Structure formats: C-alpha cells, structure tokens
Amino acid sequence: MPELMYREALNQALAEEMERDANVFLIGEEVGRYNGAFKVSQGLLDKFGSARIIDAPISELGFGGMSVGAAMVGLRPVVEMMTWNFAILAMDQIVNNAAKLRHMSGGQLRCPIVFRGPGGAGGRLSSQHSQALESNYAHFPGLKVIAPATPADAKGMLKAAIRDENPVIMFEGERLYALKGEVPEGEHVVPLGKADVKREGTDVTVITWSRMYYFCMQAAEELAKEGISVEVLDLRTLRPLDEEAILASVRKTNRAVIVEEGWALAGIGASVVDIIQSKAFDELDAPVERVTGLDVNMSYAANLENATQPDAPKIIAAVKKVLYRQGA
Amino acid sequence: MEAPAVASPYSKDLLLTMYRKMYLIRRFEERAGQQYTLGKIAGFCHLYIGQEAVAVGPIEAIRKEDYMLSAYRDHGQPLARGSDAGMVMAELFGRGTGYSKGKGGSMHIFDIEHQFYGGYGIVGGQIPLAAGMAFASRYRNEDRVTVCYFGDAAANQGALHETFNMASKWKLPVIYICENNRYGMGTAISRTSAVPEIYKRAAAYDMRGEPVDGMDVLKMYEAVKDAAAWCRAGKGPVLLEANTYRFRGHSMADPATYRSKQEVEEERKGDPIPKLRDYAIKNGLGADADFERIEEEVKAQVDAAVKFADESPEPSLEELWRDTIVEPGEPDVRPRERVLGTKVTNWPSYPSGQELKVTWDLEPREQAELADKKAGLTR
Amino acid sequence: MATPIQMPSLSPTMTEGKIVKWLKKVGDKVTSGEALAELETDKSNLEIEAYDDGTLAEIVVGENQSAPVGSPIAYLTPKGGKAAAAPTPAAAPKPVEAAAPKPPAPAAQATSAASAPVASGGRRVRASPLAKKIAKDRGLDIAQVQGSGPSGRVVKRDIEEALARGVKAPAAAPSAPVARKAPTAATVARPEARSEPLSSMRKVIAQRMTEVKPGVPHFYLTLEVEMDAAVKVREEAKAMELKVSVNDLIVKAVAMAVRRYPKINVSLQGDQVVHHGSVDVGIAVALEQGLITPVIRDADTKGLQAISTEVRELAERARKRALKPEEYTGGSITVSNLGMYGIDQFVAIINPPQASILAVGAVADKVVARDGQMVIRKMMTATLSCDHRIIDGAIGAEFLRELRGLLEHPTRLLF
C-alpha cells in the first residue's frame, strides 16, 4: 500500500470524487492558483478548471452561504476553510441554513455539502489561530462532524463526506497534513459514524480523535512497557457518536480516559462521559478521566503553548489514575 | 397612474392574473391576521399587506423554472407562484398538512414544486444562498435566473456585501429585490444607514442597481423583465430597490408606534391593488364585473384555506425524528403529493454527475495570465 | 402516610439517645443517606441518617431531649406521598429526660432500627460500580473487602484478590446483636471467629460462679514485670525519632500473648463460647465525662509504630467524642493503664463481651533480688482480671507469664 501524507490523501480523495461526479466543486481561499494554503488542492485547478476549483474572496460567510445555496439545487460543494477559526464567520450559514434546510422545508430540500479545513493548534500561532472548535459544530442536529487522524481515514472519510446527503463538517489539522501513513488506492470509503479501535488493549480505553490520537498512541507505547494494556479508540466521527463502539470498549476494559484537544466545558468528551455513565455505569471500575486543553487561551510562547495542550505524560497520568496505580 | 396615450402593452389576461394574485395575498394576509388574534397562529407572523405588487410583478415577469427565495415576510411570493393557499395557511397553523409539515411556520414557507426556496429568519441569511443557486445555474449552463428578496435592513448585513462582490465578479444570474418598506422592524432605515438609497450600493460592486416604485405592479413587472433578460444574457446580477410600504406592523406583535397614523393613511392612498384595477378599467382591459368575480372567487378560496388549515391534524409525533438528517436512499418530500395526492410533474431535476459537462470557465486562464503579465510575473 | 424515624441503636450498650441538634427542620426535603440530626449516645456524638427520601413532616424529640432506642423521634412524609399529618403527639411515645431511662424498646422495633446499614455499625461501602456488580454476581460481601482505591474505594482488583483468597458471602445476620462483627478497613485478612457450645462442665462452672459472683464472675492474677528492656526499646525508638510509648509496647505484647494463648481470646454469648479469630486489643481512654475503650484491630499483626500511631489517633478522637461505634466495640481484651497517675497496682473490671482485662501500674525503680544480689530494676505490676465462666486460673496464669516474658525480652516479639 502506498505511503501518503495526510494532505496527499485528501488531495487524492478530492481528485477521485471530482472525477467521479461533475457536481462536486471545491471553493475556498487560495485553493486554485496558489494550490492551497496547506497544499491540499495541489494541481487540481489544472485538472478541473476554474469553475470547479474556485479561488474565493476572503468572505467566509459569503462563499460558505453561496455554497449552501448551490447544494440546495443539486451541486455538491466542498468548501475549504483556511482554518476553522475563520469559519466562525460562516457559522450563521452553516448552523442556521445548512443544518436546518431539511427541517425548515419539511423534507423538501437537502444540503449535500462538505465544509473542511484544519482545526486545533497549528504551532506558535497564539489564541485566535489555535482552537479546537469541533464541539461547537457537534452540538447541532442536522450536521455530521468528522475528524480523521490518519491519512487513510482522511481519504476514506472525505470521500464518504462528499457522497453524504447531509452537511458534513470535517476537521483536519495543520500538524496532521505532513504526517505519513499507508493509504489504500482508489475506492477507499470509510463510513461516517463509525469509530475505530486503532490499538487493542485490555486495561483501559483511551478515547480520542484527530491529532490527539498520536499522543494517545505514544502514551500507550510507554504504558505497555509498564505492563499496562491500553485500547485506543479513535472516534473519527464526532456527530453522530459511535455509542456502540464506545460502550463495547469500555465494557471490555472497565475504564476510560478521554483525550480532547479542546476545552473541557461542554466538550465532546463530556458527552462521551455521559454515554458511558448512563449506559455502562455498572461496568466502570473508576470514574472516567478527561485530558483536555487547559481552560485558557492559547499563548504564543512555546512553553506556555505546550503546557496548554494534552500530551503523552498527561495521558499516562490519567491512565494510571483510572487504574489506581502509583504515580498518578 | 394616468391613462396612456397609446394602447396598453399588456394583455387583459396578464392584468387580471396579477390582480387575482395581489388580491389573494391581501385577503390571505387579512385572514391570517385575524386567525392570529384568535390564537390559531402563533409565534412571529409578518404580513405582506401593502407590498403585494413587489411579489406579483416580478413573478409574472420570470419563468416558471426560475428560482425564488425570500426573508421571513414570505407568504406573498409562494401564493403568487401558485402554492396551495390551504397548505400555506396550514403551515401557519402549525398543522401536518402545511408545506413543511408544520415544522417551519410563518417564517419558513418552502414550495420547491413552485421553485420557491424558502423564507429565512436570519436577516440577510438568504442573500448568499441565492448567489449559490445562481452559481449552480451557470455551472450547469442553464438558462435560469434566481430572484431573491430581502428587506431594507438586510442591506446593512455583511452577507449582502460579501455576496454582491462574488455575484458581480462571477457574473451570476441573480436578481436581488430589496423590499424597502422604510422600517427595519421599528427603526427607520434612514436612521441606521449612511446611504439610505439601497440601490446605490450596487455601484460599489460594479453591479447594475435601480430604484423601482414598489407600489406599482406594472413597474415591478417591467423592471424584473428587463433585469431577467440582462441576467440571462450573462451580464451579471441586478439590484432592484422596490420602494414600498407595509400597511400593518412589522409583525403581529408590533403596534407600530414608531410611525404616525397620518403617514399610514397617506401611504394607503397608494394601495397597489385599486391602482391596478383602475389602470385596467381605464385601458378597457377589465370590467367591474371581472374584478368582482375574482374577488368573490378569492374570498371563497381563502375561506376554504382557513377551513382546510383549521380542520387539519397536527403533525404526528413521529415527525419529530424526520427531516433532520437525510438517511441513505431517502427521497425528498413532495408536499402536494404527500398532502393532496396530486401528481407533481415539475419537480426540479438535474443531470447526474456522470452526465454533467461543466463548460464554464469562471476565470479563463488567458485572463489570469494576462493579469500576471501586467504584474510582471511568470508562473 | 408519614413514616417514623426511630431513635437508632448506635452502639451495643445504647439504650437511649439525646438529640444534640436537628440538622433538618420540618418541611425540609430529605434524601436517603442525608444526616438528619446529631445524636449524643453514651459513647459518642453521631449523626442520624435518613433511610428514605421524603420531607421531614414532624419532629417529636426536640434538641437536648432524649428518647429510648426504637421510639419515634420524627416523621418523614415519603417522596411523592401526601403530606399527611404525623400521628398526634399523644400517640407517639413521649420524649424522656436524659436522666430517666426507659425499658428497652420492643424487639421488633429494635430489629428494624438495627437492620439499617448505619445502625448496625456498618459503614457506607465505597466501591466502583463494577466492583459492586462482580461482588453481587459472585456472592461476595463487599463490606468484607478492603478497598485500595481513593478514600478506600473497593475496586475490581480488590474484589479479584478477595475472591482469590476466598472471602465468603455475607453470613446470615446473627440473632444476638453483640455477635455482629463490625466490619473495618482491616477485616479482609482477619480470621473468622468460631463459636462452640459450652461444655457441660463449663456450664456448671459458669452457673456456680455466677451464683457466687453475679454478673461476670471475675478472678484476678498479679505479677511483677521487669521493664528495663522494654524501656530501652522506647529509648531506641526515640533515638530513631519514632514515638513509641511503653504502653504501646504493652499493647503489642498483650496481642502477641493472646495470639500464643488463644484460649484467652474468648467471649461468652448465651451458652456459646465464641473463639475470636483476630486479636483486637482495647485501650481504656479516660475522658472528662467517663471512659471509652477504642480497639486496635489485629494488633498482633501490626508493628509498634503502627500501633503507636493508631493509639494516639484513636485516643485523640475519643477525647473529641468522634469515634464511630465500630471503633470501640468488640475486641479480645482491654489494657487499662493508670501508670501515668503513679498507681502501683489496681484491679480492673472486665468490659463485656470481652473475658479479660489487664490493669497495669506505673513503671518504677525498685530494689529487687537478682542472683542473690540487691539490684535496682524498673518494675511494673500487672493484674489480669478474667471471666471465670470461661477462663480458668491456669489459662490466665500462662497467658500472664507469657506476657511477662515478652515484655522482659522484647526481642521475642519478633518471633
């Protein structure tokens, strides 16, 4: 299987889907002649032309809403947000229009659209550019929210998102784009709404998604040296949550740690905890632990930035805590 | 309106049709107001009384397949496009037989069969959607225009400026009709706008922009006929500022204390409905009997609509779990088929992704290279 | 229908209790497990907990009033139930003044009060949901398992260990309340007590002795112990900056002696002799208002340092009247030390259901004869009181001799 970077996997998915379906187009800032702010759309303008790879003005609300309109009448837009921080400007269109069209029209309209872009901390970018905002979108019925961690999932889930009949919010990551991994060629579609056990274990379930996945795997490696067997469950889709997979894993290990880059209050992890406590209470041997970003704005200084985010040592400490091990 | 020296260019049929539609809106809205006071309709209910010409003139000027969408004062346009009055009223009543199964209410009338793509409750929120629909028409190389209504207050939303810029740059076939009824809720537009003449904003985007007398259905008709031709010719979007007046408050909950009774009385003299009737009679394109017959028919139609809504059941509780997410293979709901069992024939259909050939070059390469050359760049 | 809240029996000797303070007032919502009132018993101040959800409908026994065990002290309107009026005050037993004890409450009432989790001297078991589930599935009494999690939470691994060790399901509640064993944090490894009927000989002995000396017929054995080595142990501990008193050493030695002479580790319950499995040593602690005997559980297995810490902690809480019933009930034997008052020798009264008590006096320099020479040694007099119904003189004497050996040669404590 060929090894691709995350951004190359996305590029492949876009190219394949645009090849397959002429209703698919990509719009966003710098996606065309610049070849993408993060090079996801590299070479696509030459391949598909200026009506299908559209350089948008810096008007997130405008081109976001325009794409919703195009989706209402049969096109399948992929809207690249340069980062999700900027997409806050388009939130009205995503939330009040895209997520509600099917409902407001009593089932007459559908809105097959993908909003995608990097979320989470980029690295030394301070507070406005370093936010994990997925819980905001996961809140809204009518949307699907995905956050693949690996290049293979990035490709398979973007393909599934483009084919989905609903608005899909896709969180990528500035620090994920250059990561490499094996990616199946051609028709590789990862169904939305399905979590993935990325590492099997018996002692504790670590539940995560997107970039935090890598810290979790690192922590799992470390813990294995101490004889602790960690199961890493990559949620991949944040709305709808894969309750079945969460519960199955927790029923197996009896302990859970949820690792989330974003803030704790009203975070996705809080909802996962709720699922566990309400549906697997009798399976728990310890309160569910959460490792989240600190409840502060992200700083520029390297040490402050690092301290704000979850990392492997924090995850290891949480795992030991739910295992009642020393050093927690 | 003076009788023209030359014969009227309009057919009797057109004038009577426009009259019937305006009169339907007027009667429908009056009954809706009455039903609101009886507690049959709740929430926000924004009436169209006084603004009928702004809906009816343009609708007669465009084609059946052209798209249309509006803000939350949205009962008039679908009625004029041919929606079933009973089903619109049922939606207002929150009944399962409404166009949106009672899920949308007064602010969210959608009738896709009649190319009415909805009423939107966030001020200015529909403006980008319209550009997107027009974009889709260009993308598919269709000869279709989109007509989008918005209120005067929406002109100050960022969405309008962002959209006008793109629509003009990409020459999208979209007609924006600003219904300037002079008040954004209770605030006069002149109090919140540096330039209260909305049409002037088009100039900033190199876009065609004109004021129109929104109290004259024929002027609206002419303006949109011309604008639609302009759009279809690929010349880009048009902004029309329809100067109009609502005879009622902003919504049913609005006592309208921010304007004088005198002002309202004065404006009522310009009522577009008698204006059209006078014009037709003066031009020999209709007799009193014609109008009386139409009025009787419309009254009966509206009575029937209220009766239909009132006798309709509430939506079933199972409906709660429908229409949030489209399940795989789930078809779209066709309201008249669902409620009345009528076979819907003109539901929009588009070529599949395999059939479609995109020929539009949004930014021709030569054009881009020329720009590069001017800037002394080589890529 | 309002349900009565009864004066709970919070210690085996409690016959009545005094309400110090109501923590809830009439009309307050009450949830199960919530503290309702502070109660003064003959031993400690304790809280009365609600066993039901509801609303406090009426308070029958006011603050600073007493009521016999089992009598209603308040009425609770159950959750969702109608706010029915409590029975008229005339129907409820009148609260009694502190000085006027009533006869014990009817058996049925006493049983119902005693069957509630707290009244039986139990503690709320902290356990993970999973641990509870496994314990239930496997028929394991979770109260018998020591938790290793935070705040003593019983977690899965504790249950697994307990199962591996073969801790049993809860036994049916014994009929006699005194036999109820107070579960404590250390009960896991504790050997079970076993009962056997009095032999006919012992029955006669017991009967005879009781005729002569009604109640618990005591006999007394006294000997002198040379404490030089024991005092040296204390000094060595001090050099290591450890706080160990001579009394701690005595407690440890008593425990070890009991372990070696288990015949002293008995209680008489009805016509059954209970042979205790564990060695729990009580220590008499003088309070301003009286006396209480907190118990060092498994003193034979604990080190001097642990005993010392525990004694001080228990004595401290005893003085604050903050001991829980399970901390001052049960026990194999009690050590009563009046040495600090300069008392040379005294005899102590047995604290039933224990069958013996050791009274120790002051350690003092005395002239004694050793190898025909007069030498000065640190001497202490110890007097053992025994329940002659189940312990005979020879057993007491052997035990006492062993105790002296351990104290005079403390290194033997190591073996």
Neighbouring CB atoms inside 10 A of B113's CB total 22
Residue C191: name the closest of C97, C98, C277 by CA. Answer: C277
- What does the pLDDT average to over B93-108? 97
Do C211 and C341 fall into the same domain?
yes
C97 inside domain: yes
C150 contacts in chain A (CB < 8 Å)? 324
Q: What percent of chain B has pLDDT over 90?
A: 84
Do C171 and C236 fall into the same domain?
no
Model confidence band, residue C165 (pLDDT cutoffs 50, 70, 90): confident
Domain residues for the domain of C88 are 3-115
Chain A residue closest in CA terms to C151: A324
Amino acid C109: pLDDT? 38
Model confidence band, residue C89 (pLDDT cutoffs 50, 70, 90): very low
Model confidence band, residue C184 (pLDDT cutoffs 50, 70, 90): very low
Two tokens at C212?
Answer: 């002569």
C122 inside domain: no
Amino acid C68: pLDDT? 82
Do C222 and C167 fall into the same domain?
no
**Which of C130, C133, C142, C161 has the most A C-beta neighbours within 10 Å, making it the best mutation to test the interface with A?**
C130
Amino acid A310: pLDDT? 97
Cα of A308 to nearest chain C Cα, Å: 27
Predicted confidence (pLDDT) at residue A57 exceeds the cutoff of 90: yes
Do C14 and C83 fall into the same domain?
yes
Predicted confidence (pLDDT) at residue B25 exceeds the cutoff of 90: yes
Our measurement of the distance from residue A64's CA atom to the centroid of its chain's CA atoms, rounded to an integer in Å, reads: 19
CA dist C252 and B68 (Å) reads: 94
Phi, psi of B187 (to 5 degrees): -110, 125
Cα of B24 to nearest chain A Cα, Å: 23
Do C175 and C324 fall into the same domain?
no
Predicted confidence (pLDDT) at residue C112 exceeds the cutoff of 50: no
The more confidently predicted of residues A274 and C170 is A274
List chains adjacent to chain B, taking adjacency as at least 3 C-beta pairs closer than 8 Å. A
Amino acid C412: pLDDT? 84
- What does the pLDDT average to over B205-232? 98
Q: What is the ipTM of this complex?
A: 0.96
Amino acid C113: pLDDT? 35
Model confidence band, residue C103 (pLDDT cutoffs 50, 70, 90): very low
Peptide bond just before C353 cis, omega within 30 deg: yes
Residue pair C289/C320 in contact (Cβ under 8 Å)? The answer is no
A55 contacts in chain B (CB < 8 Å)? 363
B352 inside domain: no
Cα first-last separation, chain C: 63
Residue pair C340/C362 in contact (Cβ under 8 Å)? The answer is yes
Beta bridge partners of B212: B242
For the stretch B277-289, pLDDT in tens is 999 999 999 999 9
Provide the CATH number for the domain around residue C348.
Answer: 3.30.559.10
- What does the pLDDT average to over B158-180? 98
Amino acid C182: pLDDT? 40
**Which of A205, A252, A285 has the most C C-beta neighbours within 10 Å, making it the best mutation to test the interface with C?**
A285
B278 inside domain: yes
Model confidence band, residue C13 (pLDDT cutoffs 50, 70, 90): low
Does C126 reach chain A within 8 Å, measured CB to CB? Answer: no
CB contact under 8 A, A282 and C156: no
Cα first-last separation, chain B: 61
C404 inside domain: yes
Amino acid A202: pLDDT? 97
Chain B residue closest in CA terms to A111: B326
Amino acid B41: pLDDT? 93
Do C404 and C341 fall into the same domain?
yes
C142 contacts in chain A (CB < 8 Å)? none
CA dist A248 and B327 (Å) reads: 25
Amino acid C1: pLDDT? 60
Amino acid C169: pLDDT? 55
Residue pair A231/A199 in contact (Cβ under 8 Å)? The answer is yes
* Residue among C218, C275, C276, C388 flagged as catalytic: C388
Query: If you average pLDDT over every residue of chain A, what do you get?
Result: 97
Predicted confidence (pLDDT) at residue B142 exceeds the cutoff of 90: yes
Do C176 and C219 fall into the same domain?
no
Amino acid C371: pLDDT? 83
Amino acid C49: pLDDT? 75
Q: Residue B330: which region, alpha, beta or left (left: phi > 0; alpha: psi -120 to 50)?
A: beta
Cα of A287 to nearest chain C Cα, Å: 8
Do C346 and C283 fall into the same domain?
yes
Angle between helices B272-282 and B217-232 (to 10 degrees): 90
Determine whether C276 is an active site residue.
no
- What does the pLDDT average to over B68-92? 98
Two tokens at B82?
Answer: 């041919």
Cα of A65 to nearest chain B Cα, Å: 5
CB contact under 8 A, B133 and A69: yes
Chain A residue closest in CA terms to B348: A73
pTM score, whole prediction: 0.69
CB contact under 8 A, A283 and C129: yes
Does C157 reach chain A within 8 Å, measured CB to CB? Answer: yes
Nearest to A105 among B100, B163, B356 (CB): B100
C309 inside domain: yes
Neighbouring CB atoms inside 10 A of C286's CB total 15
Please spell the DSSP secondary structure of B76-128, one letter per residue: HHHHHHT--HHHHHHHHHT-TTSTTTTSS-TT---BGGGTEEEE-SSTTTHHH
Chain A residue closest in CA terms to B113: A108
B195 inside domain: yes
- What does the pLDDT average to over A162-171? 98
Amino acid C189: pLDDT? 57
Q: Which domains does chain A have, with CATH numbers?
A: 3-182 (3.40.50.970), 196-322 (3.40.50.920)
Amino acid C38: pLDDT? 84
Question: Looking at the 3D structure of chain B, how many domains does it have?
Answer: 1
CA dist A60 and A56 (Å) reads: 9
Give the helix, strand, coil percentages of chain C, each rounded to 5: 30, 25, 45
B364 contacts in chain A (CB < 8 Å)? 50
Cα of A52 to nearest chain B Cα, Å: 8
Amino acid A328: pLDDT? 45
If DSSP codes are grouped into helix, strand and coil, which group holds residue C365? Answer: strand
Least reliable range by pLDDT among A83-87, A249-253, C117-121: C117-121
CA dist A44 and A26 (Å) reads: 9
Query: If you average pLDDT over every residue of chain B, what do you get?
Result: 94
Chain B residue closest in CA terms to A21: B353
Does A278 reach chain C within 8 Å, measured CB to CB? Answer: no
The more confidently predicted of residues C325 and C226 is C226
Interface size between A and C, measured as CB pairs under 8 A? 27
**Which of C126, C137, C148, C155 has the most A C-beta neighbours within 10 Å, making it the best mutation to test the interface with A?**
C155
C120 inside domain: no
Do C235 and C178 fall into the same domain?
no
The more confidently predicted of residues C20 and B15 is B15
Predicted confidence (pLDDT) at residue B133 exceeds the cutoff of 80: yes
Exposed/middle/buried for residue C326 (C-beta within 10 Å: 0-12, 13-18, 19+): buried
CB contact under 8 A, C131 and A286: no
B67-70 and B183-184 as β-strands: parallel, antiparallel, unpaired? Answer: unpaired
Phi, psi of C366 (to 5 degrees): -140, 155
Question: Is A touching B (3+ C-beta pairs, cut-off 8 A)?
Answer: yes
List chains adjacent to chain A, taking adjacency as at least 3 C-beta pairs closer than 8 Å. B, C
Provide the CATH number for the domain around residue B274.
Answer: 3.40.50.970
Least reliable range by pLDDT among A37-51, C145-159, C207-221: C207-221
CA dist C330 and C121 (Å) reads: 11
Phi, psi of C72 (to 5 degrees): -65, 135
B48 inside domain: yes
Does A282 reach chain C within 8 Å, measured CB to CB? Answer: yes
Residue pair B128/B157 in contact (Cβ under 8 Å)? The answer is no
Query: If you average pLDDT over every residue of chain C, what do you get?
Result: 78
**Which of B120, B327, B362, B378 has the most A C-beta neighbours within 10 Å, making it the best mutation to test the interface with A?**
B362
- What does the pLDDT average to over C115-128? 54
Residue pair A143/A116 in contact (Cβ under 8 Å)? The answer is no
Cα of A267 to nearest chain C Cα, Å: 25
Amino acid C123: pLDDT? 54
- What does the pLDDT average to over B214-221? 98
List chains adjacent to chain C, taking adjacency as at least 3 C-beta pairs closer than 8 Å. A
Amino acid C316: pLDDT? 86
If DSSP codes are grouped into helix, strand and coil, which group holds residue C101? Answer: coil
Predicted confidence (pLDDT) at residue C240 exceeds the cutoff of 90: no
Chain B residue closest in CA terms to A112: B326
Nearest to A96 among B122, B134, B353 (CB): B122
Chain A residue closest in CA terms to C159: A285
Do C253 and C357 fall into the same domain?
yes
Measure the CA angle with vertex B345, ends B320 and B68; round to 5°. Answer: 70
Predicted confidence (pLDDT) at residue C304 exceeds the cutoff of 90: no
CB contact under 8 A, B103 and A54: no
CA dist C221 and C223 (Å) reads: 7
Amino acid C43: pLDDT? 64
Angle between helices B126-139 and B158-169 (to 10 degrees): 20
Model confidence band, residue C384 (pLDDT cutoffs 50, 70, 90): very high
Least reliable range by pLDDT among A285-289, B225-229, C142-146, C358-362: C142-146
Provide the CATH number for the domain around residue C38.
Answer: 2.40.50.100
Interface size between A and B, measured as CB pairs under 8 A? 197
What are the residue numbers of the active site of A? 60, 129
CB contact under 8 A, C128 and A286: yes
Beta bridge partners of C273: C196, C268
Do C86 and C104 fall into the same domain?
yes
Two tokens at A214?
Answer: 């890598």
Do C390 and C280 fall into the same domain?
yes
Question: Looking at the 3D structure of chain C, how many domains does it have?
Answer: 3
Least reliable range by pLDDT among A47-61, C161-175, C192-206, C289-303: C161-175
Chain A residue closest in CA terms to B116: A105
Amino acid C42: pLDDT? 67
Cα first-last separation, chain A: 40
Nearest to A33 among B328, B332, B368 (CB): B368
- What does the pLDDT average to over B132-158? 97
Amino acid B5: pLDDT? 55
If DSSP codes are grouped into helix, strand and coil, which group holds residue C17? Answer: strand
Our measurement of the distance from residue C39's CA atom to the centroid of its chain's CA atoms, rounded to an integer in Å, reads: 19
Residue C121: name the closest of C34, C51, C182 by CA. Answer: C182
Nearest to C133 among A282, A286, A324 (CB): A282
Question: Is A touching C (3+ C-beta pairs, cut-off 8 A)?
Answer: yes
Model confidence band, residue C8 (pLDDT cutoffs 50, 70, 90): confident
Least reliable range by pLDDT among A292-301, B206-215, B270-279, C237-246: C237-246
CB contact under 8 A, A284 and C130: yes
B312 inside domain: yes
Does A55 reach chain C within 8 Å, measured CB to CB? Answer: no
CA dist C61 and C22 (Å) reads: 10
Model confidence band, residue C76 (pLDDT cutoffs 50, 70, 90): confident
Our measurement of the distance from residue C106's CA atom to the centroid of its chain's CA atoms, rounded to an integer in Å, reads: 25
Domain residues for the domain of B128 are 12-347
Nearest to B323 among A63, A73, A103 (CB): A103
Q: Report the run of H or E that residue A264 belongs to, with start and end.
A: none
CA A300 vs CA A127, B11, C169, C198: distances in Å: 8, 71, 60, 82
Measure the CA angle with vertex B296, ends B291 and B298; round to 5°. Answer: 90
C124 inside domain: no
